[in-house]
Amino acid sequence: MSKIVLFGEIMLRLTPEGYNRFIQSDKFNVTYGGSESNVAVSLSNFGEDTDFITKLPKNEIGQGALNLVRSFGVGINNVIRDGERIGIYFLEKGASQRPSKVIYDRKYSSFSESKFNEFDWDKIFEGVKWFHFSGITPALSDVLAEVCLKACKAAKRKNITVSCDINYRKNLWSREKANKIMTKLMDYVDICICNEEDAEDVFGIESDSNVVEGNLNYDSYKNVAKTIIDKFNCALVAITLRKSISANDNGWSGMIYDGDNYYFSKEYDIHIVDRVGGGDSFSAGLIYALLNNYSFEDALDFAVAASSLKQSIEGDFNLVSLEEVNKFLLGEKTGRIQR
């Protein structure tokens, strides 16, 4: 197995029951999640050796987050316990034509107040083959942006593959700041994962597709991927393609470009139970497949299949096994009961 390091914040997630709105809810379901922790859990479920790097308060809520990720086999030995609070996000699930809504309460969280020299990257990266982070992490503070850069430089010194899901969040930083910081980080990124909105918001690379109207211009996606590789010299660009029919029903597919060839997956019509973590499960599927020497085309198919299944599962984490993804790829897509 290959050791994979993931760096980011795990948050407390509070969700009204069912499809209730925030303003009509007198109780919330509690779980934990966050981009990099979601990827870690998914990879661990596929049998990979993972190490999740974060910072959490030394109280029962922080311990609850660690207990959950550890229960899926994720390594937590390098987690720092300090600070006052865990970040929180509230999720109101959309339905039909009403979109989902997220409210963040993560200011002054333990992770967002991380210090520059708290993480010993030379030690953390011993025996590691892959390092993954998302654009959410450097968005949380200027210090974390510098920590990400430090981690990427350390990874490159050790010939570790670096992947980044751009994951632009307008509630965390401006387009201008995201462009400035992410452009520096991209010098060290081998595998860039994004969607068309990320590419436009962060790098100003526009596509001609309209996902809201369900019109995907595949030549435009090719141009986006080629522009990213030409600009940043990445080894691979992966893009998720979502056709938004409603909050509950989407078309879901993906593409990758390796600098020479473009590959598009088949499109799945998915009925969404919980879309949060869909992109993270795509990232995890891609990382798993590439580490296990899948061809680019097969790696894309695996990532899209895994992320299609995730969006049928409540919570941030993709709780499917390698066997379930492979069965899905072989044609078991009807949802019939397994006896």
With tokens 């097969």, the residue in question is: 298
* CA 337/CA 339 separation, integer angstroms: 6
Would 15 be classed as within a structural domain? yes
Would 92 be classed as within a structural domain? yes
The structural domain count of the chain equals: 1
* CA 313/CA 31 separation, integer angstroms: 13
Least confident among 95-99, 125-129, 201-205, 215-219: 215-219
> Above 80 in pLDDT, residue 336?
no
> Above 60 in pLDDT, residue 94?
yes
Here the CATH number for the domain that contains residue 14 is 3.40.1190.20
**218 or 121, which is more confident:** 121
Would 339 be classed as within a structural domain? no
State which residues form the domain around 211: 3-329
How large is the average pLDDT for residues 111-119? 96
Give the per-residue pLDDT at 106: 94
Q: Which residues make beta-bridge pairs with 50?
A: 4
| Residues whose CB is less than 8 angstroms from the CB of residue 294 and which lie 6 or more positions away in sequence, other chains included | 302
What is the pTM for the complete model shown?
A: 0.94
Would 237 be classed as within a structural domain? yes
* CA 181/CA 222 separation, integer angstroms: 24
pLDDT band at 182 (very low <50, low <70, confident <90, very high): very high
> pLDDT over 90 for what percent of the chain?
91
Would 128 be classed as within a structural domain? yes
Give the per-residue pLDDT at 240: 95
Strands ordered across the beta sheet of 101-105: 28-33, 11-16, 88-92, 101-105
How large is the average pLDDT for residues 229-258? 95
Write down the mean pLDDT value for the chain: 94
How large is the average pLDDT for residues 225-231? 95
| Residues whose CB is less than 8 angstroms from the CB of residue 26 and which lie 6 or more positions away in sequence, other chains included | none
Give the per-residue pLDDT at 88: 97
Give the per-residue pLDDT at 175: 95
Give the per-residue pLDDT at 208: 67
* CA 285/CA 305 separation, integer angstroms: 8
Give the per-residue pLDDT at 217: 82
Would 171 be classed as within a structural domain? yes
> pLDDT over 70 for what percent of the chain?
95
* CA 252/CA 306 separation, integer angstroms: 11
The answer to whether the beta carbons of residues 53 and 37 sit under 8 Å apart is: no
Give the per-residue pLDDT at 2: 74
Helices (H), the chain: 35-45, 60-71, 121-124, 136-139, 142-157, 175-185, 196-203, 218-232, 278-291, 296-310, 322-329
pLDDT band at 213 (very low <50, low <70, confident <90, very high): low
Give the per-residue pLDDT at 209: 57
Would 150 be classed as within a structural domain? yes
> Above 60 in pLDDT, residue 212?
no
Would 335 be classed as within a structural domain? no
> Above 80 in pLDDT, residue 142?
yes
